[in-house]
Amino acid sequence: MLEPDFIEAVRTAVGPDGCTQAADALEEYGTDASKQHGPAELVVRPSTTDEVAAIARLCHQHRVPLTVRGGGTGYTGGAVPALGGVVLTMERFTRILEIDEVNLLAVVEPNVVTGDLQRAVEAIGLFYPPDPASLDRCALGGNIAECAGGPRAFKYGTTKRYVLGLEAVLPTGEVVRTGGKTVKNVVGYDLTQTLVGSEGTLAIITKAILRLIPLPPHRETIQATFAEVDGAVRAVIELVKARVVPAALELVDGASLEAVARYLDDRTLAPEGTGALLLLEVDGLSETVREEAVRVEASCRQAGATTVRHATDAAARDELWRVRRELSPSLKTIAGLKLNHDVVVPKARVPDLFACVARLREELALTIACFGHVGDGNIHVNIMVDPNDSAAVDRARDGEQRLFEEVVRLEGAISGEHGIGLEKRSFMHLALSAEELALMRRLKTAFDPHGILNPGKMFPDAEPATTSD
């Protein structure tokens, strides 16, 4: 329960229209795409860095939990106010402050929608590659806090490769500026990259300097089908051996294809006998694109592709990508509860990962649909289960534990892009040693001595007070 003098001080800092306790707002800002809910007590909408700093100072002084929110599309409950208190939404920080064509960078406020920055820079021949599938809803601050990735990460890397500098407010209220406008900077510890992927637990990002690159002028999409997942994975290995680095390299397995075909009532999307589909994109100068497309097709054919289709113009490419775009809503038709895990293994271990998934399907009688960024070894393993069938839910929970254990054995990571948040806290001890966790705790304390910023997250012994749908 927040003290009246605290609420009054927040109101004074941000003005009466900068905060609310309306029931519908508390409900809306108490959840995110993970469908977990936390008891939000006050929603605050600051407009300036000074206001953010004032709120942080007040929360620090009064020991009030403070949870930062970007677009609210996180899949692990990162923006859910697990211990109640203040939800600080960055929704008024939506300006692209600068696009610098000479130094190849953009300066942005954190709640610029990712797709909006991409369109703005592409209009002048520049490129901001990180492309999470949520790019028309998520915000750059959330992408930085989660180190978001997407299909293009194989060639272009994830968000961290593009963050040059940050302005951030510490949970104690000080404003810090890390990195800057240069590509090289080795002055002291790299605080910029410490904040990237810190899941809103170390500081509140209020501005970012992002690296841009020239927009590749040509693009070609290739879609190949295979009778088995193994064939598709072999094609990826062949490609790597052929030294081709596609801009995107996505795999969709048979169970996921079947869901899309049923959802869209279009059997052509999952023709009889299709066990997997690869979507690849090559980009660059036209001669390079042509040459690489030929090599991609050869690798797919060598691995036993049953069909290979090419598309060069935007509409035809869009049509080939349709399957991938429709995956999220389609999976919902399989079962009401989706345990969505974005595990990642070294590329060469992807066949072992799929073997593990096949064992879990068989031994635990689970429906599991897989798709994802196979070029990075980052596969979304979706365990689909009826939430009203408690025995099935128990088997699914057993399945996720076994999945994570196997991923760690395969020298992989339990999350490649969605982060830990609330959802994977209890598995952190599988991924990190006691010494590593203790070091991370000391880092957290250095930034946030009272533990007010995004409490209940990431660490296995955090105590959230949440419910889920």
Question: Would you tell me which residues interact with ligand FAD (CB under 6 A)?
Answer: 32-33, 67-75, 78-79, 90, 110, 132-134, 138-139, 141-143, 145-146, 148-150, 199-200, 204-205, 328, 417-418, 454
Distance, in Å, from the CA atom of 239 to the CA atom of 232, rounded to the nearest integer, reads 11
Nearer to ligand FAD, 91 or 230 (CB): 91
In this structure, are residues 191 and 178 in contact, taking their beta carbons and an 8 Å threshold? yes
Nearer to ligand FAD, 198 or 225 (CB): 198
User: Minimal distance in Å, beta carbon 241 to ligand FAD?
Assistant: 27
User: Minimal distance in Å, beta carbon 109 to ligand FAD?
Assistant: 9
Nearer to ligand FAD, 74 or 275 (CB): 74
In this structure, are residues 154 and 416 in contact, taking their beta carbons and an 8 Å threshold? no
User: Minimal distance in Å, beta carbon 89 to ligand FAD?
Assistant: 8
Contacts of 12 (CB under 8 A, 6+ apart): none
Q: Point out the residue whose Cβ comes nearest to ligand FAD.
A: 142
CA diameter of the chain: 71
User: Minimal distance in Å, beta carbon 342 to ligand FAD?
Assistant: 7
Nearer to ligand FAD, 204 or 356 (CB): 204
User: Minimal distance in Å, beta carbon 242 to ligand FAD?
Assistant: 26
Beta strands in 54-109 (DSSP E): 66-69, 86-89, 96-100, 105-108
Nearer to ligand FAD, 252 or 392 (CB): 252
Distance, in Å, from the CA atom of 244 to the CA atom of 53, rounded to the nearest integer, reads 47
Nearer to ligand FAD, 133 or 393 (CB): 133
Distance, in Å, from the CA atom of 88 to the CA atom of 52, rounded to the nearest integer, reads 8
Nearer to ligand FAD, 234 or 324 (CB): 324
CA dihedral 75, 428, 39, 33 (to 10 degrees): 0
User: Minimal distance in Å, beta carbon 138 to ligand FAD?
Assistant: 4
User: Minimal distance in Å, beta carbon 202 to ligand FAD?
Assistant: 8
Other C-beta atoms closer than 10 Å to the C-beta of 77 total: 28
Beta strands in 173-240 (DSSP E): 175-179, 204-211, 213-214, 218-226
Tokens representing 461 are 């012994």
What residue has token string 């194989």? 154
